[in-house]
Amino acid sequence: MHILITGGAGFIGTHLTRALLERGDRVSVLDNLSTGSIENIQAFAHHPLYSFAIADINNALVLDRLTSQADAIVHLAAAVGVQLVVERPTETIETNVLGTHAVLTTAERYRCRMLIASTSEVYGKGFKIPFAEDDDLLLGPSSRSRWSYAASKLLDEFLGLAAHREYGLPVTVMRFFNTVGPGQTGRYGMVIPRFVRAALQGEPIPVYGDGEQSRCFCHVRDTVRAIVKLLDIPDQTAGQVYNIGSDQEVTIRQLAQTVIERTDARSTIQYIPYSEAYAPGFEDMRRRVPDISKVRRTIGWQPKHDLNQILDDVIEFERARL
């Protein structure tokens, strides 16, 4: 199979590229390197089944050429990270919505199978735990830019599912829940690499708010396994939305403590009010736990790595970089 990965020089895209090449697929990557990195893809540069184009997904000529050669598209290109979203909401909305529209339009032209990466952020302030794919969604007010990312990704979902219903395009939506692992940058507020780097350098670990907000972290290798399985069965998964993540819940305070223990660091936890970390009026989701029963039933997938394994992999990676 020939797979086009938009945003393929980013964190998830790099791991997905490796998995697809290892099983013999041909991979083309389209990335403007705004958040991705040449360093991430250097290992594939001379692979006979790999090609890379530095371009924006709104570059119609490049996107058309790459899509015409592909059997399927995994659309990962997006604005990522809470910090980026809060500081540059206009860029977030335009990148996500206009980019997805461009990819969908081109995919329709060539009847190309498409997987769209979405996010647990779309559940917003939902209080029914765990979050299931058909639950009602509740976002905050438009006056708070923090919700622009969730709204833009939700619109991406609507666009993709509408293309399936109206034009029969085989589109599947994947809602990722805090995908983490070696190679993830901490530049955009990603919590685990920031915590691990601080601990390895003996610095205080910055926890925003009271630390009692909880998340479920999924190893990127587990996320990639799910993507590949969904790619392989378009007939059963087209027009569907799937949660992809771990259902092991941990508070951010507990996460910081575990990082200190597993790095054997002398770091302390430094609590920082949201008003100092982000713009005034920032709102956080207190809990974010996925119901993964649907994806388990459909493709027999569930995470294999627990939190300690995730942290150990990240710690090993970050130590090698010091």
Give the residue numbers annotated as catalytic, written as ranges: 149
User: What are the helix and strand counts (H, E) for the chain?
Assistant: 14, 13
Contacts 24+ apart (CB under 8 A), 160-164: 160/100, 160/104, 160/114, 160/116, 161/239, 161/241, 163/104, 163/107, 163/108, 164/238, 164/239
For residue 182, cis peptide bond before it (omega within 30 degrees of 0): no
- From CA 278, how far away is CA 87, in angstroms rounded? 8
- From CA 224, how far away is CA 34, in angstroms rounded? 22
Can you tell me whether residue 144 is helix, strand or coil? coil
- From CA 41, how far away is CA 56, in angstroms rounded? 17
Of 266, 287, 252, 3, nearest in space to 124 by CA: 287
- From CA 133, how far away is CA 124, in angstroms rounded? 13
Matching residue, tokens 């394994």 = 309
Find out whether 56 and 103 touch, Cβ atoms under 8 Å.
no
Of 23, 54, 22, 313, nearest in space to 184 by CA: 313
- From CA 238, how far away is CA 298, in angstroms rounded? 12
